[in-house]
Amino acid sequence: MYVGYSMGTTSFFVTMSERPEYNDKIISFVALAPAVYLSNIKLLAITVLKTLELPARMRSQGMISLTLRSDLLDLLIRNICFQNKPEDDICMRLVYMVVGEDLEQYDKELTSVILYRAQPVSWRQLEHFGKVAITGVFTSWEDGLWGAVKPYNLSNVKVPVALLYGKNDHLTDKSQIMRLAVKLNETGMLETVRPACDWEKFNHLDFVFARQVGTLLTKPLVDYIKTLFSKYGPP
Ligand SMILES: *[C@@H]1O[C@H](CO)[C@@H](O)[C@H](O)[C@H]1NC(C)=O
Ligand SMILES: *[C@@H]1O[C@H](CO)[C@@H](O)[C@H](O)[C@H]1NC(C)=O
């Protein structure tokens, strides 16, 4: 079984497309908030990558990856972000604009713990997702952000795939999950496409960080994985 979340699902689809022999090693795939089509964030991608030219400018300043210096992080966490309730907090407002708003599942304590552990992100990673968003194609990064579009061949996915989305996930929006569903359905590989849980505000981050992630998502998910295993696994 393979269970992936967000970028962890991107890696799966890239791998199966490029190295189809890996299909033999997987029984079934549960994709949480799959990041394959991202046309809904096209405007954001154009703003960050084309208008602001953020990665290019940062690279030319010698910043080789998206990294937050620990003193800067400290300043943000202690003095600027996460001061009040999330609804009054500018940082959370910005985050919610991208991932969808869910005030009730927000956990302030957990957020600072996570942020203090933030790791650098390659600019190319952002550029790759940006290229996917801007072109509307699940394309490789190979020729660069503005280079040739080289679609991954999703017909090479040969295992049953369950697509689970958040009802209020603005980043991997339902419209884009449905595009992927149609694509997988063409080759008979779509096991299911449905909301990950009934929580109306379930956003992109809730899959990992929701206050009640255990009852809302994880426990039912374990049962679902068992079901798929007995359906497709070894007798
Ligand atoms: C994609 O893969 C399928 C088989 O998995 C193959 O039949 C098809 O020709 C491929 N498409 C392209 C554009 O390479
Ligand atoms: C998948 O294909 C079947 C048969 O063509 C169709 O009835 C069903 O609506 C499709 N589902 C999706 C999500 O595209």
Domains plus CATH for the chain?
2-63+121-232 (3.40.50.1820)
Give this prediction's pTM. Answer: 0.92
Which of ligand 1's atoms lies nearest the C-alpha of 20? Answer: 5
Termini Cα distance of the chain: 15
Measured from CB, residues less than 6 Å from any atom of ligand 2 are 181-182, 185, 193
Give the neighbor-by-neighbor strand order of the sheet with 2-5.
2-5, 29-32, 161-165, 190-195
Which of ligand 1's atoms lies nearest the C-alpha of 153? Answer: 1
Q: How far is the CA of 3 from the centre of ligand 2 (A)?
A: 23
Nearest CA to ligand 2 atom 1: 185
Q: At 84, is the pLDDT very low, low, confident or very high (cuts 50, 70, 90)?
A: low
What is the pLDDT at residue 235?
A: 87
Q: At 131, is the pLDDT very low, low, confident or very high (cuts 50, 70, 90)?
A: very high
Between CA 111 and CA 128 the distance in angstroms is 26
The residues facing 147 across adjacent strands are none
Tokens matching residue 93: 């407002």
Q: How far is the CA of 29 from the centre of ligand 2 (A)?
A: 19
Helix and strand element counts for the chain (H, E): 11, 6
Nearest ligand by distance to the CA of 181: 2
What is the pLDDT at residue 107?
A: 85
pLDDT at 83 over 70: no
Nearest CA to ligand 1 atom 3: 155
The backbone region for 33, taken as left when phi is positive above 0, alpha when psi lies in -120 to 50, beta otherwise, is: left
What are the pLDDT digits (tens) for 31-44? 999 999 999 999 99
Q: Which amino acid is at 85?
A: K
pLDDT at 26 over 90: yes
DSSP for 158-182, please give it.
Answer: -S-EEEEE-TT-STT-HHHHHHHHH
Q: At 134, is the pLDDT very low, low, confident or very high (cuts 50, 70, 90)?
A: very high
Between CA 86 and CA 93 the distance in angstroms is 7
Who wins on pLDDT, 174 or 90? Answer: 174
pLDDT at 87 over 80: no
Which of ligand 2's atoms lies nearest the C-alpha of 181? Answer: 13
Between CA 38 and CA 196 the distance in angstroms is 19
Radius of gyration of the chain (CA): 19
Who wins on pLDDT, 28 or 60? Answer: 28
What are the pLDDT digits (tens) for 203-233? 999 999 999 999 999 999 999 999 999 999 9
